Amino acid sequence: MSQEKQQFYRHLQRAGLKRTAQRDLIVDIFLHTEDHLSSEDLYRVVKEQDASIGQTTIYRTLKLLVEAGLASEVRFGDGRSRYEPNNKFPHHDHLICTNCNHTIEFYSAELKAMLESIAAAHNFHPTEQSLRIFGLCAACAVDAASDSPPAINKSSAPGAFGIAK
Ligand SMILES: [Zn+2]
Ligand SMILES: [Zn+2]
């Protein structure tokens, strides 16, 4: 059994919950994802393998994964919570395209050191930090520069165009 799954079962035990085949499947699929999945996204993937699993079970299992320290909730400004496994790489930040929702992950040791020194300068003790850069991905930037008007995605970041209603 992988270290992550052992960690998950230890958490289940502490929470007084049982190990079930459904939770097993959800955790397996989630831990192998490369993506940032919302509860609905994960539901769609899981349903293909076991149609009897409900959306509530998926949602609760995601919360358990976060509590167990195996998943992080990430928000990309469209009001949806997405989740990613913590085992991908230790810490990373995101570039988010507000047109097509494509996300790019990056890690910068320099950035991390800089944020830590800013916090230290303010005598602030950070518990976590995340940086999100909103804009257009390369493909959408090309579209925007061409003659055809770019398609505006309704789910783009609130206030991205300067007006929050
Ligand atoms: Zn894009
Ligand atoms: Zn990520």
Contact 78, 94 (CB under 8 A): no
Whether residue 113 lies inside any domain: the answer is yes
Domain boundary among 87, 111, 128: 87
**Domain stop point among 39, 63, 87:** 87
User: Separation of 160 CA from ligand 2 center, angstroms?
Assistant: 21
* CA 94 to ligand 2 centroid distance, Å: 6
Q: What is the dihedral of CA 136, 138, 143, 144, to 10 degrees?
A: 40
On whether both 23 and 59 belong to a single domain, the answer is: yes
The angle, 0 to 180 degrees and rounded to 10, between the axes of the packed helices 3-14 and 21-31 is 140
Q: Indicate the residue among 34, 64, 87 that finishes a domain.
A: 87
Range of the domain at 120: 89-153
CA distance 130 to 56: 28
Closest ligand to residue 142's CA = 1
CATH at residue 45: 1.10.10.10
Cα 16 to averaged position of ligand 2 atoms, centre (Å): 30
Q: What is the pLDDT of residue 34?
A: 80
**Ligand number, closest to the Cα atom of 140:** 1
77 CA from centroid of ligand 2 (Å): 14
Q: Are residues 10 and 66 in the same domain?
A: yes
Residue 147: predicted pLDDT: 57
> In this structure, which ligand is nearest to the CA of 34?
2
What is the predicted pLDDT for the residue at 150? Answer: 53
CA of 124 to the centre of ligand 2 (A): 25
Question: What pTM, to 2 d.p., does this model score?
Answer: 0.68
pLDDT at 138: 95
Cα–Cα nearest to 132, from 104, 161, 100, 154: 104
Neighbouring residues of the ion ligand 2, judged by CB less than 5 Å = 84, 105
Q: Are 6 and 71 members of one domain? A: yes
Cα distance between residue 30 and residue 25, in whole Å: 8
Half-sphere exposure in the Cβ direction for 37 (13 Å, CA): 25
Is residue 164, in this structure, part of any structural domain at all?
A: no
Is residue 69 domain-resident? yes
Distance (angstroms) between ligand 1 centre and the Cα of 147 equals 17
**SS3 for 86?**
coil
Radius of gyration of the chain (CA): 19
Question: Considering the domain boundaries, does residue 165 fall inside one?
Answer: no
List average pLDDT for each run of 10 residues in the chain, which is 165 residues long.
89 93 94 89 95 95 94 87 82 89 88 91 88 94 75 50 38
Q: How many domains does the chain have?
A: 2
Question: Considering the domain boundaries, does residue 37 fall inside one?
Answer: yes
Q: Is 8 helix (H, G, I), strand (E, B) or coil?
A: helix
What local confidence, expressed as pLDDT, does residue 165 receive? Answer: 35
Cα-to-centroid distance, 140 and ligand 1 (Å): 4
Residue type, 88: K
Is 98 within 8 Å of 160 (Cβ atoms)? yes
Residue 162 has a pLDDT of: 38
Distance 124 CA to ligand 1 centre (A): 35
